[in-house]
Amino acid sequence: MLILFYRILSNLLLIPIFLFFLTRFLLGKETLKSILQKFTIYKSSKLNVLNKKVVWVNAVSIGEAKVGMLVAELLKEKYKTLHVILSTSTITSFKILEKYQKKFTIIYAPIDISIIIQRFIKIWEPSLALFVESEIWPSTFSILKRNSIKLKIINARLSKQSYLNWKKVNFFSSELFGLIDQCIVQDKNSETRFKDLGVKKITKISNLKYLQKEPKINKNDLKEFSSRFKNKFVVTMFSTHEGEETFFIESFKKLRKKINNLIFVIIPRHIERTERIQSLLKKKEIKYSIRSNKNSYLKDSNILLVDTFGELSLFFKLSKIAVVGGSFVKKGGQNPIEVSFFKCPVLFGPYMYNFSEIIDEMKKNNAGIMVLDQKELEEKILYLNNNASERIKLANNFTKLCGKRRKRTNQLIKNVFESSNV
């Protein structure tokens, strides 16, 4: 009953929500394409999915989108006649997924308004919906159930705070979570929390990000930067957040006095923050280069600021150390698994709670190092600079750990698909 009320209310808010997205468009946070598709207005026809069974994979942002793509590829590999619609919500994640447009239908996710979701289902007619990680959409879940479309949450996780928030509105959440046909969870804590909130069928596997395949690297870029970074000790800070760059720049200034061939590569989580980071570097009077602007490349610049998409692998390949962003501020960290392909040791801060299971395994297997503060970060970078054997051991341990997990997770998720009647 409460979900029905939510659906009616969402319909009444259709025009104000449209105006909200229009404002975002004027601010450069949306494109015309993203707005139209979020309101289920598509330029292309549905011809490519006719006479095919359709699976809808919804992955909201970058991390989820990568998992969604991995799952989509597994489904396509196993079920040749299947058509996968892969939806996402952000411009950044859409750009990452666009290159898979020939294999899958890549669209912006419809907004959780009843009339919009009804139109979406009428257009695409999915037989199965797979939502990635922690997205809970009341209108969508309700309408999927009403249309007898199976709903599964894959790589599901639920933080302690989110769980407590849902418990506060148990009169609503018990009905909502009961609409989920299955949760495929990545850790024990999430398993317990989803069960308590009313999900009947739960399968614990592991983090599906272990399924990631070795990314391809542009050979020309690799050649260029291998030459540029020759005989340099490269440390890459990836997916950094507000507050961390100041922290890293201060560390760089101190470490540069002790490691004269030191190079820092800073890759922000959101590239629109590039100008702000440039201002910090200018303020600290540090020479730097911008990845997208080759005219900015200076021989004596010791920091490279990466403002391009999809180049993490390139810099992991070239680095002696990778430092996880979002882990030195309370953002929960970022996924370190991609680093495992490139024989590069990983350092991370104290706030890795979004990847607690992975981090626990890294600690147990001496496959990464947690540092608590700026001083300890500088100490560990200096230590690893002076101890190549320790760098190699850490990197090899991480590669081995991820390889084992990848094999196990791949088999388990295939078993899940076999029982899904896809």
pLDDT in tens, 335-359: 899 999 999 999 999 999 888 888 9
Same domain? For 315 and 393 the reply is: yes
Same domain? For 336 and 293 the reply is: yes
Whether 412 has a pLDDT exceeding 80, the answer reads no
Q: Identify the DSSP state of 301.
A: -
* Residues shown for the chain: 422
Smallest Cα–Cα separation from 383: which of 228, 169, 233? 233
In tens, the pLDDT along 155-209 reads 998 888 899 999 999 888 989 999 999 999 988 889 999 999 999 999 988 888 8
Smallest Cα–Cα separation from 253: which of 289, 280, 291, 229? 280
Same domain? For 238 and 202 the reply is: no
In tens, the pLDDT along 52-72 reads 789 999 998 888 898 899 889
Same domain? For 199 and 251 the reply is: no
**For 41-82, what is the HEC assignment?**
CCCCCCHHHCCCCEEEEECCCHHHHHHHHHHHHHHHHHCCCC
Burial 341-353 (b: 16+ CB within 10 A, else e): bbbbbbbbbebbe
- Cα 161 to chain centroid, rounded: 20
Residues 6+ apart with CB under 8 A from 390: 345, 383, 384
The whole-chain average pLDDT of the chain stands at 90
3-state DSSP call for residue 94?
helix
CATH number of the domain within which 139 lies: 3.40.50.11720
Q: Which of 169, 192, 213 is the last residue of a domain?
A: 213
In tens, the pLDDT along 236-256 reads 999 999 999 998 999 999 999
> What gap in Å lies between CA 333 and CA 337, rounded to an integer?
12
pLDDT of residue 298: 66
Q: Which of 213, 239, 258 is the last residue of a domain?
A: 213
Whether 333 has a pLDDT exceeding 80, the answer reads yes
The answer to whether residue 261 sits within a structural domain is yes
Residue entry with tokens 């669209």? 107
Whether 2 has a pLDDT exceeding 80, the answer reads no
Percent of the chain past pLDDT 70, that is, above it, reads 96
Q: With bands split at pLDDT 50, 70 and 90, how would you rate the model's confidence at 267?
A: very high
pLDDT average, residue stretch 298-318: 89
pLDDT of residue 242: 93
pLDDT of residue 62: 83
Instruction: Name the domain count of the chain.
Output: 2
In tens, the pLDDT along 68-103 reads 998 898 888 878 888 999 999 999 899 889 888 888
In tens, the pLDDT along 102-123 reads 889 999 999 999 999 999 999 9
CATH number of the domain within which 292 lies: 3.40.50.2000
> What gap in Å lies between CA 18 and CA 20, rounded to an integer?
5
Whether 258 has a pLDDT exceeding 90, the answer reads yes
From the number of C-beta atoms within 10 Å of its C-beta (0-12, 13-18, 19+), residue 372 rates as exposed
Q: What global pTM score does this model have? A: 0.78
In tens, the pLDDT along 122-167 reads 999 999 999 998 889 999 999 999 999 999 999 998 888 899 999 9
The answer to whether residue 299 sits within a structural domain is yes
The answer to whether residue 28 sits within a structural domain is no
Residue 45 is part of which domain span?
Answer: 40-213
In tens, the pLDDT along 367-410 reads 999 999 999 999 999 999 999 999 999 999 999 999 988 888 88
